[in-house]
Amino acid sequence: MADICLVTGGAGFIGSHLVEGLLNAGRRARVLDDFSSGSRKNLESVGEKIELIEGDIRDAGTLADAMRGVEVVYHEAALSRVQRSIETPLEVHEVNCTGTLKVFLAARDAGVRRVVFASSSSVYGESERLPKEESDPCVPISPYGASKLSGEVYARAVSRVFGLETVGLRYFNVYGPRQNPAYAAVIPAFIERVMESKELLIDGDGEQTRDFTYVGDVVSVNLLAAEAEVEAGSVFNIAGGRRTSVNQVADLVSAAFGVEAKRVHGEPRRGDIKQSVADITAAREQLGYRVEVDLESGLRRTVEWFKENRKAR
């Protein structure tokens, strides 16, 4: 069992859920976050149970402090929007590529046993093969996708050269409570629009498909990946294993509120892939991953959280 677990980006959407999952599993959790996109409110439920370090993953001194006594690092910190990577590619490179390499090297220097890090389905680009398998060619079509692929390549290199155990998780469209609608994720954006009695804004024809993954399942597989006996440098698809169009998501969100939300279609977004669904066989067989929450159930939980959160405000 891990002694101290460090979560970079632990005040973010996925990171804060992961921190809760670690505490529920009886682990000690330390959070490193610069709060550029994460929120202190996301950590309210853990209060005094965690150690919080405010700082940037690009700062060597901050990383050295954060790594002391750590056995497992869960690296979630990143600039994660495709559109942001198109607008500010150098900034995204510095955080997602240089920052990730610095996390790996700091972990090596501190004697960390394993780093479980967040990758992304965006590494595949416009590969026409479906479902997407880990062995498929990776040809990213956005700077964000390129930055995540860079992290995977560095992970394999540091595993081989320095002996640091790394496991990469290629997330496919994670959603759930606490997700920020401002970050272009379709499910929270639709939920917020319905709550504000506004039409749903859909990029393109809405027939682009995604493989949605409930955040609770992501937390579970991170904990599994920290302990699984797998080859260092391995990467795994983490998804629901189900192909759903944006139009279908609009239907499901409308149904969850008992309304028929009006839709407005715009131009397709640059850097977006058209079709996506994952083969999750490897994660099942090697990590013990299971999809516990299907899209309908996860959407209901997410909608309820947004309703309650709105009341709280």
**125-150, pLDDT tens digit by residue?**
988 789 999 999 999 999 999 999 99
262 burial via Cβ count (<10 Å: 0-12, 13-18, 19+): exposed
Token reading at 107: 């972990």
Residue 70: phi and psi, rounded to 5, are -90, 135
C-beta of residue 149 within 8 angstroms of C-beta of residue 86: no
Return the CATH number of the domain spanning residue range 181-208+243-276+300-312.
3.90.25.10
Token reading at 99: 């920052």
Output the CA torsion sign for 33, 34, 40, 42.
negative
Instruction: Catalytic residue, from 124, 144, 214, 289: name it.
Output: 144
171 is annotated as an active-site residue:
no
Digit-coded pLDDT (tens) for 107-128: 999 999 999 999 999 999 988 7
pTM of this prediction?
0.95
- Residue 259's identity, in one-letter code, is V
Residue range(s) occupied by CATH 3.90.25.10 in the chain: 181-208+243-276+300-312
Residue % of the chain over a pLDDT of 70: 97
Average pLDDT value for the chain: 94
Token reading at 231: 């080859």
Residue 41 is classified by DSSP as G
On whether the 4-174+213-238+279-291 domain is CATH 3.40.50.720, my answer is yes
